Homo-oligomer: A and B are copies of this chain.
């Protein structure tokens, strides 16, 4: 069995820990513990904690792009594509209730720390924003596509924050249904097969 390169293992572990415990609350020792390397070995791969953060954000950008590409491949219908975005709330409900949204919590933490990588983290929101905007445009909403995209992301973020606070799965499902209904009003007439 071929092991993954150490650097990649570090980024994966950091990615998970930054999500579960937060960036600041995660120490080198925590990451080294998971990867099972010494702290000394650490600095061979990353010179500073900020450097790990940058690598984690890059990895998340890459995986987000892949996910968006998968949604595009899965359907040609813009409404169905946008529904894929809403579906994430349901599919990831367990970690969301435990830890919130990975993008939202990271951006909030970095904003508060006034961290230099803030902008890069916000770019994650930007990816969804642009992608959703394009799909809303294809739904014939060229004039307010950005407004709709931002609105949908904000609604999802709100659901994540409240689900995290109250650990309420029924709430997530209910809000997801509301979002499907909200989306439906922007769709040209067609049978709603979803769920």
Contact = CB atoms under 8 A, between A and B. Distances in A.
Interface of A: 20-22, 24-25, 99-100, 104-105, 107-109, 111-113, 122, 125, 147, 150-151, 153-159, 161-162, 164-166, 171, 174-175, 178
Contacts of A22: 109, 112-113
A161 B158 contact: yes
Nearest to A159: B154
A36 to B, nearest CB: 24
Contact of A156 (B99, B158, B175): B158
Contacts of A25: 24, 112-113
A161 B21 CA distance: 19
A100 B112 contact: yes
Contacts of A24: 24-25
A34 to B, nearest CB: 17
A54 to B, nearest CB: 18
A154 B162 CA distance: 6
Contacts of A153: 158, 162
Contacts of A108: 100, 105, 108, 161, 164-165
Given A159-B158, A174-B147, A165 B100 contact: no
A25 B174 CA distance: 35
A91 B9 CA distance: 46
